[in-house]
Amino acid sequence: MSKILVTGGLGYIGSHTVVALQEAGFKVVIIDNLSNASTKVLDGILAISGELPEFENFDLRNKLKTQEFFKKYDDLSGVIHFAASKAVGESVGNPLLYYENNVSTLIYVLQELNKKDNANFIFSSSCTVYGQADKMPITEEAPIKAAESPYGNTKQIGEAILKDTCKANQNFNTIALRYFNPIGAHKSAQIGELPIGVPQNLVPYITQTGAGVREQLSVFGDNYPTKDGTCVRDYIHVVDIAKAHVIALKRLLNKKYKENFEVFNLGTGTPSSVLEVIQSFERVSNKKLNYKIVDKRDGDVISAYADTNKANAVLGWKAKSTLDDAMESAWKWQQTL
């Protein structure tokens, strides 16, 4: 049975992917430094899948610990790398943290994997690599423009590092998955998005406002050139994203790839504005949300939604859940907290 390392595996997308991997029959070992996660997530994973993954608690910025880990676990069939800081706004205010946490950790993991005869690696990338794209929907062929934030830049740098590594080593096989905006929670409400402190993402802020944890939601700008003046994104259910990782991993393990470095967009292909997400929440929760329009925020792109034809055709993957499905699961999860 293949053993898969999931870095950042107690985080939001990581934990859902761990569940999907275990349900698909993989053994999983998690590395997480608990900077934005809790060991309680392990209980949720166990409750859903009936299996407890192995767990190593350390920070991948510790190069020595990382080396020791790979010596101990020399039988890994693949690595899915989520461990990274992920808030656009925070990255603008603290860029050095983002470059250290997102780039150096990637390099340390790759240095160890590069020693193996054969390496299979899935990179948690982001639609932020496109910056403000010229055309919608965004295809994988869209030019990689100057990043709008240090966070986006770390994803661009990460992909460049991986592309160069794959070029130098034909036995190093990588799929970079460019997510659009993951939202929602597992249908069991055992795991979901659990930001520590004030949420940096829209949906947990919405659900916390709906639950009375936050007094009011701020909508950053209403005069963008969009259908209702608010920013437009492609919101995709986290379980759909998790399933895509399992499919991509099987593609690597079964050597079905055309090149040893491939990229795929993961989205629904449906654009939704901030106000439409708020309206979706109000529909599924039967609550009116307290929100106000405030000034625009540094680092935000106006509009970003995916062309998913490549993932649909090549991976045989397609997002199944609607915006309302995702918002309903996010609200169900919030009510357990």
Catalytic positions, written as ranges: 151
- Length of the chain, in residues: 337
End-to-end alpha-carbon separation of the chain, Å? 35
3-state DSSP call for residue 45? helix
Tokens of 259: 């090149």
Contacts 24+ apart (CB under 8 A), 90-95: 90/151, 90/200, 91/149, 91/150, 91/151, 91/152, 91/154, 91/299, 92/149, 92/150, 92/298, 92/299, 95/150
Using alpha carbons only, give the angle 262, 265, 270 rounded to the nearest 5 degrees.
165
Q: 288, exposed or middle or buried, with CB in 10 Å at 0-12, 13-18, 19+?
A: exposed
Question: Would you call 169 helix, strand, or coil by DSSP?
Answer: coil
* Residues in a beta bridge with 123: 81, 176
- Alpha carbon 236 to chain centroid distance? 10
CA 234 to each of CA 121, 127, 178, 250, 319: distance values in angstroms, whole numbers, following the listed order: 25, 10, 12, 26, 11
CB-based burial label for 99 (10 Å; 0-12, 13-18, 19+)? middle
Distance CA 334, CA 181 (A): 18
Q: DSSP letters along 222-253, please? A: S-SSSSSSS-EE-EEEHHHHHHHHHHHHHHHH
Are residues 217 and 288 in contact, defined by beta-carbon separation less than 8 angstroms? no
- Provide the phi-psi class of 329: left if phi over 0, else alpha when psi is between -120 and 50, else beta: alpha
